[in-house]
Structure 1
Amino acid sequence: MKKNIFLFVLLAGLIVSCSPVQNIAYFPHFDKEINRINETTYDARIKPKDILSISVVSSEPEASRRYNLFTPQTLELINSLYSQPSLQSYLVDKEGSISFPILGTLQVKGLSTKELELFIEEKLKPHFTQEMPIITIRILNYSINVLGEVFRPGKFETTNERMTIFEGLALAGDMTIYGRRDNVKVLREDVNGERIIYTLNLNDRSIFNSPAYFLEQNDVLYVEPNQSRANSSKYGAAETYRISTLSVLISLATMAATIYSITR
């Protein structure tokens, strides 16, 4: 009896020791000292299919009004909308351009919102006799998609046009323990329509220098499952029941061995 219990406990120990130990911590190879990382500036670049909000505000309302398109349902309130305008948005076409009032077709692909503001300001200079207008541009559809081994996969939006890969994971509730931190994928379509796949190792400090560290609008962030999750997906309900039963038997055997050793 004693020999059988010993063998059973030994088998349990072997099963546990053969289970893969997953590294679920971020930055495990960083020193305990403070690690300084060079600050990286990032400006989102306008791409085809982006939706832009463009407002022109100045001390010359009549001059500004010609450049602000309002949605039809707010036209009757146009005199009271200069403080909080509800503006018509601009869809960037596949050639990377928009049709702007008075100025006509503007090529905006590859520009940051700040660069486009300066570009439109230069174009409007001849049309304002007093101070220059304040031009504000926003990308309205700046969002990312997070899929795979995260707690809340889905589509997430941001209003500041800047999101790191860790902020994207945080919005999705972080990775599950089954997510591979050394093989995260970022699928991206650049300003020229070229599709790129980046493979990132979140355990390596070189992540901060990756072009995918800052996520761009419409990026797809995919967390690949680890081997433990892949193996578990092979089992059906019957196999899962057997594994659960075996785990219970192992626990009972361990308890019996402990009681036996105490009562000797």
Structure 2
Amino acid sequence: MRKYYLFNSFFILFILLISSTIFSCSSTKNIKYFQDIPDSGQMKTIAKAEYTEPVIQIDDIVTILVQTVDPLATNSITLGNVPIQSTSSVGLGASSLNQQISSGYLVNKQGFVDVPILGHIKVVGLTTTQTRELVLAEASKYFKEPTVIVRYANFKISVTGEVAKPGQYTTPNERVSVLDALAMAGDLTIYGKRDNILLVRENADGTKSPYRINLNRSDLMSSAYFYLRQNDIIYVEPNKSKVAATDINQAKTLAIIGSALSVLIVLFTRINF
């Protein structure tokens, strides 16, 4: 019985050591971005990605500012950018929701914003540049030489899966790339699958369109999906190493349980004999 116990303990220890050695080694080839760019020598030129301005959608929040020589003249329009409170969870394992305040005009279900003095303005389907020109034309009817600023107040992107800080991120800048979003989320973990990232994009009619992104290839920076749109979702799948790591943790747990049972069996046998 003692020989059996010793053999069983050494066997479990051997399995744990071998498993730890195999799964703790990670090749840099599996975690390196843009692998088709050489480490040295002449670097190739990467074509510029075509940037298309996103269009305003229903339930978007846009900040509209009209400025004149007399700031009091447009005070009601400025005050109309009512702070709208929203919630989003940012950070790995966040137990509470972080409060975010978006200041702007809410685009209603009919696609309009209600701006004091200027009235109902239909903005759905327009870019912020087009909306600025439209608001400027309306403001010029009431004010002399006004200056108009229009920008998103809730340009939000969700990043989830194998990243350091999964969550929803809001930015006033509408020119956001895939790399920008991953940087905001703290980059991929070592277990993130870099060659098959899922991008889910919301269409104007509310439907969703999935796309696949490969961070191993530099042509991503030239693709139509390099720049994101509001409400885009990026999901980073776990790679085989994550599955293997999960399996080895389960194996360790089973090994510890088995070892404990072996000790109990030996003790029980010695007590009875």
Q: Report the TM-score when normalising by structure 1.
A: 0.70
1:203, distance to aligned residue in structure 2 (A): 1.1
User: For residues 69 and 191 of structure 1, do their structure 2 counterparts lie closer, same or farther at Cα, with a shift above 3 Å needed?
Assistant: farther
After superposition, give the CA deviation of every residue in 1:184-238 in whole Å (9 maximum; x if it has no partner).
011221333221111111112231233321122222111000122124334664x
> Which of 241, 252, 268 in structure 2 is aligned with 1:240?
252
Q: Is the 8 A contact 1:46 1:191 kept in 2?
A: no
Q: Is the 8 A contact 1:179 1:224 kept in 2?
A: yes
Q: Is the 8 A contact 1:64 1:133 kept in 2?
A: no
After superposition, give the CA deviation of every residue in 1:99-130 in whole Å (9 maximum; x if it has no partner).
223343222122221211111112233323x4
- Map of 1:154 onto structure 2: 167
- Map of 1:37 onto structure 2: 46
SS in 2 for 1:117: helix
Superposed, 1:1-40 pairs within 5 Å as: 16=22, 23-31=30-38, 32=40, 33-39=42-48, 40=50
- What runs of 5+ residues in structure 1 fail to find an aligned partner? 1-7, 74-86, 245-264
1:134, distance to aligned residue in structure 2 (A): 0.6
Runs of 4+ residues over 6 Å off in structure 1: none
- What runs of 5+ residues in structure 2 fail to find an aligned partner? 1-13, 84-101, 257-273
> Which of 126, 137, 152 in structure 1 is aligned with 2:150?
137
1:62, distance to aligned residue in structure 2 (A): 6.1
After superposition, give the CA deviation of every residue in 1:58-102 in whole Å (9 maximum; x if it has no partner).
1255653454444799xxxxxxxxxxxxx9621112332222233
Number of equivalenced pairs = 218
Instruction: Give the distance between the partners of 2:219 and 2:59, measured in 1 at CA.
Output: 31
User: For residues 185 and 72 of structure 1, do their structure 2 counterparts lie closer, same or farther at Cα, with a shift above 3 Å needed?
Assistant: closer
> Which of 51, 68, 72 in structure 1 is aligned with 2:61?
51
> Which of 118, 131, 135 in structure 1 is aligned with 2:133?
118
User: For residues 66 and 150 of structure 1, do their structure 2 counterparts lie closer, same or farther at Cα, with a shift above 3 Å needed?
Assistant: closer
The residue type equivalent to 1:99 in the other structure is: D
Q: Report the TM-score when normalising by structure 2.
A: 0.68
Superposed, 1:179-218 pairs within 5 Å as: 179-218=192-231
RMSD: 3.3
Q: Is the 8 A contact 1:70 1:88 kept in 2?
A: no
